[in-house]
Structure formats: C-alpha cells, structure tokens
Copies of this chain bind each other. A is one copy, B any other.
Amino acid sequence: VQTYESIRHQTLNLCAPLTVEDHVVQPYDFVSPPKWHLGHTTWFFETFCLLPHYSMDAFDPHYGYIFNSYYESVGAHVPQNRRGVLSRPTLEDVRAYRAHVDARMREVWNDQPEWRQVVQLGLEHEQQHQELLLMDVKSILFAQPGKPTYAAVGEPGADIPRTSGWDKFAAGIYEVGFDGDGFSFDNEGPRHKVWLDEFSMAKALVTNGDWREFIEDSGYQRPELWLADGWRWVQERSILHPLYWTHSRGEQWCEYSLSRGLQPLHAENPVSHISYFEADAYARWRGCRLPTEAEWEVACGNQSCASHWQWTRSAYLPYPGYQAFAGAFAEYNGKFMNGQMVLRGGCFATPTGHYRPTYRNFYYPEMRWPFSSLRLAR
C-alpha cells in the first residue's frame, strides 16, 4: 500500500505549484485540465477496483460521465474537447473525491489478491497521467500571455554529456517485446523475433543547435524534405520552428521551459516538441532516417532513461500474436492502433520506475506537445 500512497500522492505534488484556475482550462482539444487528470485517475480505481467488488454507491452519480475518458464499455462520457468547460466539480470537490477513494482503497487493501492486477494497472495508469500532466501544464502555462514558470522539474540542461558518432549493429534475427515477470502493457508483447538488416544508430540526440541549422537552411520551406501530409501541415499552420520556440526577445531564439520560463535557447540541449513530420524532414535533410522501433529497442533499450522521448518511423500497430487486455481494458491500448507513430524512450517527466525498454508510446504525426525528440539512424 506504500507504493499506492506514494504514487497517488505524487500526482497531487505535481499539481501543487498550480493555481486553482490553472487546474480548469483546456487550451487545445488534446490537452486535459489538471483537475480532470486528478479526477480521472481516481475514477479508474473507483470504477475498476471498488464498485465491481463492493456494494457501495459511486461517490457522485455524475462522475462516471465526467471522468470516464474513452471506455465505451462502461458508459457515456463528456466529449474530450469539453473537459475545459467543467467548472464543477471544483478542485476541492475533486480532492475530496481522491481522499474518499483512497480511504476506501486502504480499507479493502488486504482483500486485494483477486484484483491485484487491476490495482497495478491503475498505478501504471496514474504514472502515465503524471507525464501527461506535465505536458498539459506546459501547454496551459505557455498559453498565458505572461508565460509564467511552473517549478523546477529536472528538464534536460547543458549538463548532458556530449557524445557523437554512431553505433553499428549487424544484420540478424533479434528478439523484441516484453517477456518477463513484472508489469507491462498489452501492446508491449508478446516478445517476438524480427529480422533486422545492418544499421547504425547515432549516439546522441539531435540538439537545438542542430535544429537551428535546419531552420537556417530553409528546412521548413523546402517541400522535397517533407512527407506530403507534413508539407500540407507546415503550410496550413505556418509552422516555422519547434513548439515553444519564440523570437520574442528581438532576434535571439528563445525557448519556454517549465522551470525557467522564456529564456535564450541552449544550443547543446536536445531539441524537443517537434512533430513526427518535422523529425522525418530533419532526418531526410541530414541524409539519414529515423530508426524503426525494433532497431531502437535493440540499440537503445537498455540505456538509462533518456532525456526525451524519441520518434521512430514505425506505425503503432499490434505485434504478431498481440492479445489485448481482458474486459474493459481491451480498450486501453488496442483501439488506438491506427494513424499514430511510435515513440521510444523515457524522459525527465517519466516517473521513476515507470520506464521499461519495451515501452511503446504513440502519438499522431502532427503532435508537438509531448516531450518528443529524435535520434538519427542510417
């Protein structure tokens, strides 16, 4: 129960630097208000651990509708783009909801064996939302004209060791995917063989300084570097640089960070908040390519948690022999296996202990609010 307490408490910790008002707003459809994250992660335990096993009433009859994210099998839910319209329940109400559910969880903790896996999934789920929370907080604070800072959160800085060069890997049959005793999401398995041709992987992530060269070489203006969908996106949105970069202080590039607000760009830091379209165009400009997720797992899976997520050129699709989780949890991962690209590697926002080498993250190719980065392959 200590792990439970600790993880649950960490979510509140992450919200501590925010004002009440910061908890409420939703600047884009894909961003959720922090208040909603607090409620949704609690609803997960109430809905899947408590209500099915104990004769108790829901804390509030409306919360099932408000805090269900996308589980069609457990009923209707507020449309995702209307989460920022919910002034009620208030932050105080949601904290009371957390306290209530946590108290009940403690009471029944020892009954757990039959639903221990669900509790574990709930905690992994909460940790995923801790990452999302930081992504969303960054989007929310940057949307404010005053560009306020959040708090020190260990974003990668100039202290990253400088490396260069390539690691080379021989062709052959490799095994990738999860196969062990601990927890993993359904989409990480089963472990399976893949044939890989010989390939090389860059030791270092692409940096802000590298990216500035791409901009200065008119990278955003040259259609031959882009996928057709990416070129349309660049044109329609007038994309000229990574998200959170600005020219606001004269001619010097600035970058917004959670810890330090708007500040001059650090050329040595890994570039971040770039879309798959941008990552792919950059790699083509360098005469390289992005790695596949299998290549990445073989080459980088065992490194310590990296400073940023990394785009791969693999579409998010089921592994051979994929079995979705049972029941409502079949909706957890499997139904999103369309149109998204896989990212690999953890980042500063990944909770300690949450990362595994086989972890598959996934976003649509135009998404820029994740803490994304890229590593070249060839």
Q: Which residues of A contact B (CB under 8 A)?
A: 19-27, 35, 60, 62, 65-66, 70, 72-73, 78, 82, 84-91, 140, 143-146, 148, 173, 192-197, 199, 223-224, 226-231, 276-277, 289, 313-315, 317-318, 320-321, 330-331, 335-339, 365
Contact of A21 among B70, B91, B314 (CB under 8 A): B91
Q: Are B230 and A338 touching (Cβ within 8 A)?
A: yes
Q: How many Å lie between the Cα of A25 and that of B85 in the bound state? A: 5
Q: Are B224 and A66 touching (Cβ within 8 A)?
A: no
10 further interface pairs, Cβ-Cβ under 8 Å (given A193-B197, A197-B320): A19-B88, A21-B23, A21-B87, A22-B88, A24-B24, A24-B25, A25-B87, A66-B145, A72-B224, A73-B224
Q: Are A21 and B19 touching (Cβ within 8 A)?
A: no
- In the complex formed, the residue of B with least CB distance to A64 is B145
Q: Are B336 and A90 touching (Cβ within 8 A)?
A: no
- In the complex formed, the residue of B with least CB distance to A196 is B320
CB contacts (< 8 Å) of A85 on chain B: these are 25-27, 84, 140, 143
CB contacts (< 8 Å) of A87 on chain B: these are 19, 21-25, 140, 144
Q: Evaluate whether A229 and B339 lie within 8 angstroms (CB atoms) in the complex, with A24-B25, A197-B193, A330-B224 already known.
A: yes
How many copies of this chain? 4
Q: How many Å lie between the Cα of A212 and that of B192 in the bound state? A: 36
Q: Are A338 and B228 touching (Cβ within 8 A)?
A: yes
Chain B: minimal CB distance from A279 (Å)? 12
Chain B: minimal CB distance from A273 (Å)? 18
Q: Are A19 and B90 touching (Cβ within 8 A)?
A: yes
Chain B: minimal CB distance from A81 (Å)? 11
Q: Are A25 and B84 touching (Cβ within 8 A)?
A: yes
Contact of A88 among B21, B35, B224 (CB under 8 A): B21
Q: Could you show 18 A-B contacts with beta carbons less than 8 Å apart?
A: A19-B87, A21-B23, A27-B85, A73-B223, A84-B84, A84-B85, A86-B144, A87-B140, A88-B145, A194-B195, A195-B195, A197-B320, A199-B320, A227-B338, A228-B335, A228-B338, A230-B338, A276-B338
CB contacts (< 8 Å) of A228 on chain B: these are 70, 335-336, 338
Q: Are B338 and A229 touching (Cβ within 8 A)?
A: yes
Q: Evaluate whether A21 and B365 lie within 8 angstroms (CB atoms) in the complex, with A27-B85, A65-B145, A145-B66 already known.
A: no
